[in-house]
């Protein structure tokens, strides 16, 4: 008996018990499909988040207030701004604030030569937009100076952007994301152009629809609204501190220099040092690097969890092979009695175990690829090729590992004992 005959006997053994073979392969199928689907969702979620952060621009800095530490004079400084904090805290904790004066100070070409643009941003919450009976709670509402659009890599798909003149004139104009436009006007949303909508009861004219940015993770990046800073402060947020200062460095290579310059200006204005800063700065580039590490770790953990089901499928293969060896004891004894060596018996049962896991693995690849086409909660899965090869290879390895024990057990049977087995 040669290897070809052993392979043929293995196929016959699988075909003789179709239902049992199918159930055995099902365990491997579920394991392989789980690895591919979970890794694709992890990869897709990571891609979406990275895409959203990249949309901020590699040379963009975002300055936000943080919990105040001890010491310092607050965010007023020379020139003072609306809502600036001037409390001398001593050992007390003070409220950290950013002001318009801070934003204006960062525009100094002398103190910040590597900064090319600065935008102040306020972000009122719970803004409801209504239009002709339709209502939509806007996911993100920002009032900003006109250069925010360029810093944030925003463009207008229809209509026009608002300008510095709009901000100076306190014009109540707005740019809406595609999600807001479609919800309020229906269709593709362009019917909302040049129409008056109500934002928490205040009238704004929609002058443009923003270019779609898509969804990332569980957040819809198109569910947003932008309006001139002055108009939003007049109607929605009031005049106080600002939420964010967006800063654009002259290039991606000067981000570090621009960060140092911004820190120097704000430290002097707030009377703080590196040890007790009441603001934080993050750049898209550094965040992307950290984010890449986190998403990779999450994806690997998802793959590890899914691999457990693949391991369980392998145990199922070994269990069925042990049953098969028991059922075919007399057959094994007969083959050994007519001269079949142990290697041939081992090859026959190893072929059967590996074939079961391979067929289950191939079916799992097909199911996994199909399952990776399903979008759930705005997460668009992205199939990682390595997950397909690794999961299939792992399924074949499982057939080898979990098939060896039943095969060796069959090969060690003594012909006389096997022939007497009832």
pLDDT in tens, 205-257: 999 999 887 665 556 778 999 999 999 999 988 887 889 999 988 887 788 88
pLDDT at 245: 92
Q: What is the domain count for the chain?
A: 2
Residue 166's nearest CA partner among 131, 192, 137, 205 is 205
- pLDDT at 56 > cutoff 90: no
Q: Poorest-confidence range of 86-90, 191-195, 269-273?
A: 86-90
372 located within any domain: yes
Final residue in a domain of this structure, among 272, 289, 306 = 289
- 67: pLDDT confidence band, cut at 50, 70 and 90? low
Domain check: are 208 and 128 in the same one? yes
In degrees, to the nearest 5, what angle opens at C-alpha 182 toward C-alphas 181 and 188? 105
Are 234 and 253 in the same domain? yes
| Domain membership flag for residue 148 | yes
Range from 54-58, 75-79, 137-141, 322-326 that averages highest in pLDDT = 137-141
What average pLDDT score do residues 65-94 get? 47
Q: Is residue 87 in some structural domain?
A: no
Confidence of residue 264 (pLDDT cuts 50, 70, 90): very high
In this structure, of 76-80, 264-268, 342-346, the range with the lowest mean pLDDT score is 76-80
Q: Work out the mean pLDDT of the chain and round it to a whole number.
A: 82
Using the predicted structure, report yes or no on whether residue 158 has a pLDDT greater than 80: yes
- Tell whether the model's pLDDT for residue 121 goes beyond 90: yes
Within-domain flag for 80: no
Please give the pLDDT value at position 263: 92
| pLDDT > 70? residue 87 | no
Q: How far is CA 184 from CA 192, 221, 374, in A?
A: 7, 17, 28
Would you state the pLDDT for residue 403? 83
The mean pLDDT of 160-172, rounded to a whole number, is: 90
Q: Tell me how far apart the alpha carbons of residues 308 and 371 are, in angstroms, rounded to a whole number.
A: 19
Is residue 282 in some structural domain? yes
pLDDT at position 208, please? 92
- The stretch 355-361 carries a mean pLDDT of 89
pLDDT of residue 384: 85
Indicate whether 190 pLDDT > 90: no
**Does residue 334 share a domain with residue 226?**
no
Among 246, 268, 289, residue at a domain's last position:
289
Kindly state whether residue 349 falls inside one of the protein's structural domains: yes
Q: Is residue 75 one of the residues assigned to a domain?
A: no
Positive or negative, the CA dihedral 406, 407, 408, 409 is: positive
The reply to whether 11 and 99 lie within a common domain is no
pLDDT for 412: 81
**Do residues 63 and 26 share a domain?**
no
Q: Is the pLDDT of residue 291 over 80?
A: no
Could you tell me if 344 and 1 are in contact, meaning their C-beta atoms sit under 8 angstroms apart?
Answer: yes
Same domain, 273 and 380: no
145 and 265 fall within a common domain: yes
The answer to whether residues 266 and 159 belong to one domain is: yes
- The 3 state secondary structure assigned to 322-369 is HHHHHHCHHHHHHHHHCCCCHHHHHHHHHHHHHHHHHHHHHHHHHHHH
Largest CA distance in the chain: 103
**164/220 same-domain check:** yes
User: What are the tens digits of pLDDT across the range 198-207?
Assistant: 999 899 999 9
Shared domain check, 284 and 211? yes
Q: Is 201 exposed, middle or buried (0-12, 13-18, 19+ CB in 10 A)?
A: exposed
76 pLDDT band (50/70/90 cuts)? very low
Same domain, 261 and 349: no
Identify the domain containing residue 415 by its residue range. 3-52+296-420
Asked if residue 88 belongs to a domain, the reply is no
Domain boundary among 289, 323, 349: 289
pLDDT band of residue 352 (cuts 50, 70, 90) is: confident
Report the pLDDT averaged over residues 178-199. 89
My answer on whether 399 and 285 are in the same domain is: no
Per-residue pLDDT tens over the stretch 375-419 = 876 678 888 888 899 888 988 888 888 888 888 888 888 777 777
Helices (H) and strands (E) in the chain, counts: 13, 14
- Please tell me which of 11-15, 127-131, 149-153, 412-416 the model is most confident about, judged by mean pLDDT: 127-131
3-state secondary structure of 66: coil
**End-to-end Cα separation, the chain, in angstroms:** 25
């Amino acid at each position: 008996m040669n290897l070809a005959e052993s392979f043929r006997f293995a196929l016959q053994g699988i075909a003789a018990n179709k239902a049992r073979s199918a159930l055995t392969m099902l365990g491997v199928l579920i394991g392989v499909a789980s690895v591919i689907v979970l890794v694709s969702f992890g990869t897709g979620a990571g891609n979406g988040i990275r895409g959203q952060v990249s949309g901020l621009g590699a040379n963009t800095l975002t300055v936000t207030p943080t919990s105040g530490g001890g010491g310092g004079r607050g965010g007023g400084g020379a020139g003072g701004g609306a809502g600036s904090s001037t409390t001398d805290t001593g050992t007390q904790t003070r409220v950290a604030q950013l002001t318009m004066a801070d934003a204006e100070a960062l525009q100094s070409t002398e103190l910040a030569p590597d900064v090319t643009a600065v935008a102040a941003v306020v972000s009122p919450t719970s803004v409801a937009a209504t239009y002709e009976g339709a209502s939509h709670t806007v996911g993100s509402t920002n009032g900003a100076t006109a250069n925010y659009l360029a810093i944030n890599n925003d463009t207008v798909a229809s209509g026009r952007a608002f300008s510095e003149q709009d901000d100076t004139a306190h014009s109540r104009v707005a740019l809406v994301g595609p999600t807001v436009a479609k919800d309020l006007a229906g269709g593709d949303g362009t019917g909302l152009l040049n129409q008056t909508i109500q934002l928490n009861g205040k009238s704004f004219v929609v002058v443009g629809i923003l270019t779609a940015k898509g969804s990332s993770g569980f957040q819809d990046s198109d569910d947003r609204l932008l309006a001139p800073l002055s108009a939003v402060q007049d109607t929605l947020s009031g005049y106080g501190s600002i939420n964010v200062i967006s800063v654009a460095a002259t290039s991606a290579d000067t981000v570090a220099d621009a960060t140092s310059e911004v820190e120097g200006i704000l430290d002097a204005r707030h009377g703080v040092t590196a040890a007790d800063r009441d603001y934080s700065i993050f750049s898209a580039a550094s965040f992307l690097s950290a984010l890449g590490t986190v998403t990779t770790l999450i994806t690997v953990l998802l793959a590890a969890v899914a691999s457990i089901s693949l391991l369980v499928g392998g145990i199922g293969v070994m269990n069925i092979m042990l049953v098969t060896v028991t059922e075919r004891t007399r057959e094994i004894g007969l083959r050994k009695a007519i001269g079949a060596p142990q290697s041939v018996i081992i090859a026959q049962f190893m072929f059967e175990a590996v074939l079961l896991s391979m067929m289950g693995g191939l079916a799992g690849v097909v199911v996994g690829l199909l399952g990776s086409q399903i979008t759930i909660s705005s997460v668009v899965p992205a199939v990682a090729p390595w997950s397909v090869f690794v999961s299939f290879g792992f399924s074949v390895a499982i057939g080898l590992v979990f098939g060896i024990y039943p095969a060796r057990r069959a090969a060690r049977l003594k012909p006389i004992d096997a022939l007497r087995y009832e």
